[in-house]
Structure formats: C-alpha cells, structure tokens
Structure 1
C-alpha cells in the first residue's frame, strides 16, 4: 500500500515538474519569437524602404565629367546606400526588351536620358528627409528631372508607424500573460507541497531555510525550460535563414545573443520571483487555512 502511494506521489511530482518546464518553455519561446520579430520587423521595413529607387535624369548637354563628378558626390554622401549609372543606350535596350520592338527605328533618335538609380538609406526614406535630398539634388542645373514614388514612400512610413504601435501593444499584453502563466504553474507546484512547508515551519525551520530548496528547484526547472526554448529559437532561426537568406537573420549575432540571454534570464527571474511569493503565501497561512 505504501509502495503504491509512493509511486503515485512520484508520478504526481514528475507531472508537476513537466508542466512547469513545459509552461516555461512555451512562454519563453513565445516571448523570444516576439523579440526576434520586433528586431527583424525593422530590418524588413528598412529593406523595403531601401528598395525604393530614386531616378535622377541628366540633360543631354551633361558631359561625362559631370556624370563622374555626380557619382563621386553620391559616394561621399551620407544618404546614398547604392547607386547605378544607366546610360541612355542601356535604357533604350531595356525599353526594347520590355516593349518587344526597337522604338528608335521609327523615331530615328534615342529620346532617353543618362540617369542614376539611387537607393537611399532607410533612415532618409521619410517625408522631410527625402524631400530635402531631392531639393538639394535639383540645385544641379544639368539635372533634367528626379523621379521616385512619393505616394509609396508616404504609405510605407505610415504603415511602419502603425505596425510598430500594434507590435508594442501586443508585446506588452503577451508579456503580462507570460508572467501570469509561469506564476500560475509555480503556485500550483508549491501548492502540492503546502503541508510540507507548514510542517517544516512548525518544527522551527526559518522562512529562508524553507524557501531555499523550493526556489532552487524552481530555478533549475526554469533553466531547463529556458534552455529548451533557446534551442527551439535557434532551430527556427536557422530554418528561416535557409528559406529566406536575403533577410540575413543570422547576420546580427550580438542581437541574437542578447535576446537569447534575455530569454534565459527571464526564465530564471520569473520562476525565482513566482516561487518566492508562492512559498511566502503558504508560510503566512494559518494551519486551518491549508485545507
């Protein structure tokens, strides 16, 4: 009879440990995923912004020296991420490929202009900054026109602000839920040992002495759950990087390490605090209230 009861208690204890590790893993994996999403959402938004090209067209009287000088100015500028010179002949060939016929045969001349396609850094692809860049470039009297999708720039910036706000709201909401879930699991684990806690207290053990083994056990379970979450997060990152290599998810190693350390630290901190307050609650209860 005693043996079967001991087996039952052991199974119940193992189930309790498993539920704590599982809840810690799921919550920390969710928070870690959210952290990576927040970091990489800015990267994706920046890549999209930098994909918007500004085309600068030069008048026919602009000589090669003028075009080379402009390229040097772009190279020295803070706003230009990349730039490419497109000669009028290359532009004609591209148009011919798109249209499917040589338009110069019936026009007799090439009406297109030499140009530079400029991809601007993401920090400058905002309403005021990009307008200032356009105004500065137009000071060159040999520039015929500057073309870029102004409506797309405004739409991207508005959407980025809107999405960023919702990400912050959802992050805060999920963080609160995460703490409550782990706290609930830890309290249930301590609840199963409430009679042991009270017995130790009745024989003269101090509160700190009683709390110590429970806190240490919970921290170890939190470390195990955090470790599993870190492995799962790394696996997910490597998989996504293989599917979407252009995003460069593994390039910023310092950010990845910081997020993983934060996940591990939260696993330890939340389990420590939850166990501390849960044991403190049962230590302060009267014996009659345990039932």
Structure 2
C-alpha cells in the first residue's frame, strides 16, 4: 500500500513538473516570437516598403541616348534600390497576356509608353520624400509622367507607426501574462507540497533551508522550459526564413543570441521569484490554515 501511494505521489509530482514546464515554454515561446518581430521590425518594414514601385513614363520622342543617361543617373541616385526599363512593346505583350487578347489589333496602334520601374530604398518610401523625387523627375524633358500609389504610401507609413506602438504595448501585456501564468503554475506546484513545508518547519528547519530546494527546482524547470521555447522559436525562424527569405531572419546572430539569453534569464527570474513568494506564503500560514 505504501509503495502504491509512493508511486502515485511520484506520478503526481512529475505531472506537476510537466505542467509547469509546458506553461513556461508556451508563454516564453510567445514572448520570444514577439521579441523576434520587435528585433526584426526594421527588416519587415523595409521588406514591405521596398515592394513599392515608382513608374516613370517616357515621352515617345525621347532619344535613346537620353534614356540611357537617365537610367545611369537613377542607378547612382541615393534613393534607388533597382531600375528596370520596360519598352512599350514589352508592356503591351504583358498587358495582352493579362487580359487574354491582343488589344493592339483592336486599336491599331500601341498606346502605351516606354517606362522605367524604379524601386526605392525603404528610407525614401514616405509621402514627403516620394513627392520630392517625383517633382525632380518631372523636371526632365524626356519624362511624361511619374506614377505611384500615393494612398498606399500614406497608409503604409501610418500603419508602420501604429504597428510599432502596438508591438510595444503587446510586449508589455505578454510579459505581464507570462508572469501571471508562470506564477500560477509555480504556486500550484508548491501548494501540493504545503504539508511537507510545514512539517519541515515544525521540526526546526529554517525558512531559508526550506525555500532553497524549492527555488532551485523551479529554476531548473524555468531553464528547461526556456530551452524548449528556444527550440520552438528556432523552428519558427527556420520556417519563416524558408517561406519569406527576404526578411533575413537568420542574418543577425548577435541579436538572436541576446534574445535567447533574455528568454532563459526571464524563465529563471520569474520561476525563482514566484517560488520564493509561494513558499513564503505557506511558511507564514498556521497549520490549520493549510486545509483552506
């Protein structure tokens, strides 16, 4: 009977430890992913900004030499990421493929213009800077029109600012949730041993002597939970890097190392502090209060 009860208690204790590890790893994983996006926020915003294209339409009478000079100047410009020349013939062919018929046969002439697709560096993708670039380009006699999605640029700029703000808010909220959830799991784990704590105290053990093994065990669980969450984050990073390589999730090993160390420190800190206060609470209770 004693052996059966001992086995039951052991299984119960292992189940308690497992639930603590799972709680810690899940919460730290969410915090780690959020921290990852905070770290990579610049790369993410740059990725979306540099997808914006400014199309420069050229006059039909533009000399080939002047067009080459313009292309060379654009490639050297501080704001340029890439320059792609699209002839009116190529544009017509692409448009015909999109609509599924040869519109030139219907119209009798190609109404499209030779154009240059200009991709800008992310720092210059703002309403003010793009308007300034547009104004300078329109001063060139060979340029007929400059086109880009102005409402999209304004919306993108506003949303990036809002996103940065809300990411900071969510970081704070998730950290608070982490503390509450992990603290609850630790308290439940310590609660299951409240009678052991009180027995040790009654035979003369000091509070520090009683607390130390509990705190050390919780710290071990915190480290284990942090390691599990880091493995999950690494798998997440590899998946994102394969799916969207432009984000360069693996480009900054130093920042990733700092993130992983921060996760381990957070796991150790939360579990250690939670266990200290949980054991302190039961140490201060009277024997008859342990049943409530």
TM-score, normalising length: structure 2 = 0.83
Corresponding residue of 2:140 = 140
Alignment of 1:30-109 (within 5 A): 30-39=30-39, 43-98=43-98, 100-101=101-102, 103=104, 107=108
Give the secondary structure class of the aligned counterpart of 1:51.
coil
Asked if 1:26 is matched to 2:50, the reply is no
Contact 2:58 2:145 in 1 (8 A): yes
Alignment of 1:1-291 (within 5 A): 1-39=1-39, 43-98=43-98, 100-101=101-102, 103=104, 107=108, 112-245=112-245, 247-291=247-291
1:80, distance to aligned residue in structure 2 (A): 1.6
Q: For each residue in 1:47-97, what CA deviation from the matched residue of structure 2 results, as whole angstroms up to 9, or x when unmatched?
A: 332222101123345434433333333333332221212234433444454
Give the secondary structure class of the aligned counterpart of 2:223.
helix
1:162, distance to aligned residue in structure 2 (A): 4.0
Give the secondary structure class of the aligned counterpart of 1:196.
helix
Question: Once superposed, what is the RMSD of the aligned Cα atoms?
Answer: 3.0
Give the secondary structure class of the aligned counterpart of 2:140.
coil
Aligned length: 290
Q: Measured at CA, do residues 287 and 75 of structure 1 come closer, stay the same or move farther in structure 2, by a change above 3 Å?
A: same
The gaps in structure 2 that reach 5 residues or longer are none
Q: Supply the distance in 2 between the matched residues of 1:205 and 1:143 (Cα, whole angstroms).
A: 87
Choose 280-289 or 179-188, whichever is displaced more. Answer: 280-289
Give the secondary structure class of the aligned counterpart of 1:78.
coil
Q: For each residue in 1:161-215, what CA deviation from the matched residue of structure 2 results, as whole angstroms up to 9, or x when unmatched?
A: 4444444434433322221010011112122223333444445544333322111
1:115, distance to aligned residue in structure 2 (A): 2.5
Give the secondary structure class of the aligned counterpart of 2:130.
helix
Choose 69-78 or 125-134, whichever is displaced more. Answer: 69-78
Contact 2:186 2:274 in 1 (8 A): yes
